Amino acid sequence: MIADIVIAGGGPNGLMLACELSLAGIRPLVLERLPERTQDNRANGLVGQVVRTLDRRGLYERLAGNQDPPRPAPGFVFGALPIDLSVLDDNPLYILQVPQRRIEQMLEERAVELAVEIRRGHELTGFTQDADGVTLQVSGPAGPYTIETRYLIGADGGHSIVRKLAGIAFPGVTTDETIARTAHAVVPAELVDPVTGGLDIPGYGPIPPFLHHRTEHGLFVYAPLPGAPAPLISTMEWNGQDAEGPLTLAELQASAHRVLGVNIAFGPPDGQGPHLMRKLNGGNTRLAERFRDGRVLLVGDAAHVHSAIGGPGLNLGLQDAVNLGWKLAAEARGTAPAGLLDTYESERRPAAERVVMSSRAQSALIAPGSEVTGLRALFTELLGDPRNVRRIADLMSGADVRYEVGGDHPLAGRWAPDLDLKDGARLAELTRDGRPHLIDFTGDDWGYPATAGLPGSAVPCTAMLLRPDGYVAWATDVPQPDAASRASLRAAIQRWLG
């Protein structure tokens, strides 16, 4: 069999990449070793730029269940320290609470709509590559077979077989001093605060919902997620006691007692589930030595793993997929300008490095001990300054990412601002086709057909060129097109679009 592009891994990142490739006219083949979607819930929502990314593909409303555009969160946490985001005029941090299994379901439905072939129960077992393509060995329900493809994408998680077979090193740090326990569990009704939705525990005090709550002895989270069979209860301890065998509610209850110093009676949720009951010992922080080896590329956890604190995983991985999709499609079509595919790593690796830095900093802030308590007191003072709140919000959302696209305009290389267009549509509605767009705010002729313009009210520039991933490839403030501005636009189009 011959396929243009094969994606190993049918999780959120692999499915998102498949959708992006299909929008660009390339029909990939997705291989997923699991015979059906997992019922394990590895994540409970989306945090950061990815929320607006999904909005610009028309996918946000499918998850939110309504037609309203996403709204920034009024507050969040950094290292279990509360952040008041209402002090920001342009808050970049968006949150959508939705189980990962629902995200996977939605992305699979979208991929099928776009005629993507998904083979479940088919596992990549080996491959060889040369200058012209990759030969895959696959194990399927009917036996082993081979596939000839031009490119292979590893979207197969932190234990990626693609990365290992490609010989790409995965340096980093493995720690074993923490034990995280998470389960769906019912708490006594009298402990639930009807106003905040959090807990009010006699002998301890209030615990807000959804936010990491740190004590001198560990971490506690109470998350009554919408649509879940019961609230999620989670604890983390350092060098704690680990009972043998699978997690039980009794073990979780004992852990919560050690963290909070008081007893909370946990009960099992109603119904058949699936009910989460998970225990994780230690953690990994690793970053692939490179994201590409010839015709083999990595996305998501195959390229980077880190602490889940702050919810950065899907924000990083899904944006990897959106960044790679249009570039790989152009390469497969033969229309990519020289070096375009190389910019996938040069743009996404620094983003991954910042997430690794952020997760390490937050892990340090939630650790036990009086020294950390002192550090947290200092950070609390620093977070009283809106300028520091802005830096943290930009870091956690990914809004501080700026690609080297050329040009010195402040918008160049940044995420395009959300705009209302003159025909009443939103920019997010314009970009659902996954194509580049030239936005003209002046009504003048730039030498290329402009997609849309704006009302005469405040505009961020006079014209801008959007890449398919929603980032600004070029922008100008000249009031009318002149020879220099036309030439700079032409150069940007040739550099990014061929």
pLDDT in tens, 230-289: 899 999 998 777 778 899 999 999 999 999 999 999 999 887 777 888 898 888 899 999
pLDDT of residue 456: 53
CA angle 15, 16, 20 (to 5 degrees): 115
Three-state DSSP state, 186: strand
Per-residue confidence (pLDDT) for residue 454, from 0 to 100: 63
Q: What pLDDT shows up at residue 457?
A: 58
- The residue type of 192 is V
Whether 145 shows a pLDDT value over 70: the answer reads yes
Quote the pLDDT of residue 337. Answer: 96
Output the pLDDT for position 272: 74
- 414-497 is a CATH 3.40.190.80 domain: no
In sequence order, the β-bridge partners of residue 120 are 32
Among the listed ranges 125-129, 144-148, 217-221, which one has the minimum average pLDDT value? 217-221
Output the average pLDDT for the chain: 92
pLDDT-derived band at 226, boundaries 50, 70, 90: confident
Q: Do 10 and 31 form a contact (C-beta atoms < 8 A)?
A: yes
Q: What is the pLDDT of residues 388-414, one digit of tens each?
A: 999 999 999 999 999 999 889 999 999
**Which of residues 343 and 217 earns the better pLDDT score?**
343
Q: Write down the pLDDT at residue 381.
A: 96
Tokens of 378: 């200092």
Q: What is the pLDDT of residue 458?
A: 67
Q: At what angle do helices 100-113 and 12-23 cross, to 10 degrees?
A: 30
Contact 441, 461 (CB under 8 A): yes
Fold entry, domain 176-283: Alpha-Beta Plaits (3.30.70)
Can you tell me whether residue 394 is helix, strand or coil? helix
**Residues whose CB falls within 8 Å of the CB of residue 122, separated by 6 or more in sequence, listed in order:** 31, 32, 33, 138, 139, 140, 141
pLDDT (0 to 100) of residue 447 = 76
On whether the CB atoms of residues 422 and 457 are closer than 8 A, the answer is no
- Does pLDDT of 152 surpass 60? yes
Least confident of 70-84, 102-116, 156-170, 429-443: 429-443
**Span 16-35, mean pLDDT?**
96
Range ranked top by mean pLDDT from 7-21, 182-196, 421-435: 7-21
Whole-model pTM above 0.75? yes
**DSSP 3-state helix, strand, coil percentages of the chain (rounded to 5)?**
30, 25, 45
User: Letter for the amino acid at 157?
Assistant: G
- Burial (0-12, 13-18, 19+ Cβ within 10 Å), 215: middle
Helix (H) or strand (E) holding 177: strand 172-184
Please state the rounded mean pLDDT for residues 87-114: 94
∠ at Cα 270 (268, 275), nearest 5°? 65
- The CATH code belonging to domain 3-172+285-397 is 3.50.50.60
Q: What is the mean pLDDT of residues 303-323?
A: 91
Share of the chain above pLDDT 90, in %: 74
3-state secondary structure of 120: strand
44, 225 in Cβ contact below 8 A? Answer: yes
- 32: Cβ contacts below 8 Å, ≥ 6 apart: 9, 10, 11, 14, 118, 119, 120, 121, 122
d(CA 328, CA 372): 45
Q: pLDDT of 463-498, one tens digit each?
A: 999 999 999 999 999 988 899 999 999 999 999 998
Across the range 426-449, mean pLDDT stands at 86
Judged against a pLDDT cut of 60, whether residue 99 lies above it is answered with: yes
Q: List the one residue out of 183, 173, 176 whose CA is nearest residue 240.
A: 176
Residue whose structure tokens are 């019912």: 186
Average the pLDDT over 305-317 and give the result. 87
Q: Does 68 have pLDDT greater than 60?
A: yes
Question: What's the pLDDT at 115?
Answer: 96
Per domain, the residue ranges of the chain are: 3-172+285-397, 176-283, 414-497
Q: For residue 41, is pLDDT > 70?
A: no
Digit-coded pLDDT (tens) for 263-274:
999 999 887 777
